[in-house]
Amino acid sequence: MTTPEPDKLPILLGGTGVVHWQQDRPIADLLAAVRRTGRRAYPLDLQGAADKAAFMARCAEALKLPEWFGANWDALYDCLTDADVLPAEGGRVLVVTGWQGYAAAAPGEWRTALDVLGDAADYWAKTDTPFLALLVEPEFTAPAHPTPGTSG
């Protein structure tokens, strides 16, 4: 897993794998940038998800997973590697936001989720339609500086 420099977005979107991205633009702009590359954007917001059940429910909803989705890691992999479930002629980009709370609350499950995403990326890397999981880091905000002549 890598963290690219902000000006590398066009190059990054042409790749495959699981990467961290420091948010440097609104998510809507990021999704539009993905679409301009000819890839299909799949936004996945994990804000508030604190366990595997919530993670799987968010995946099912965001990715419009089929009824047969079993809400387990093997079923998620099966869905992520099924072109009928995740169609995209030019490739797929899963834009994951709000994942930090889940990673902190369930680190073992989060590592498994990353493994599944990585395995899906490896699967699609052998095809003409790659898969990129973009783990969006919150936009950096510099700490406020006190106004001169005030305390704190």
Please give the C-alpha separations between residue 44 and each of 129, 146, 149, in angstroms, as whole numbers.
19, 37, 45
Contact 79, 67 (CB under 8 A): no
Q: The pTM is what?
A: 0.83
Per-residue pLDDT of the chain (152 residues; tens, 9 = 90+): 544 444 566 667 777 899 888 887 788 888 888 888 889 999 999 999 999 999 999 999 999 999 999 999 999 999 999 999 998 888 999 999 999 999 999 999 999 999 999 999 999 999 988 999 999 988 654 444 444 444 44
Tokens encoding 62: 């965001």
What confidence score (pLDDT) does residue 151 get? 43
Per-residue confidence (pLDDT) for residue 8, from 0 to 100? 65
- pLDDT recorded at residue 94: 95
DSSP 113: H
How far from each other are the two terminal CA atoms of the chain, in whole angstroms? 39
Q: Which has the closest alpha carbon to 31: 80, 101, 96?
A: 96
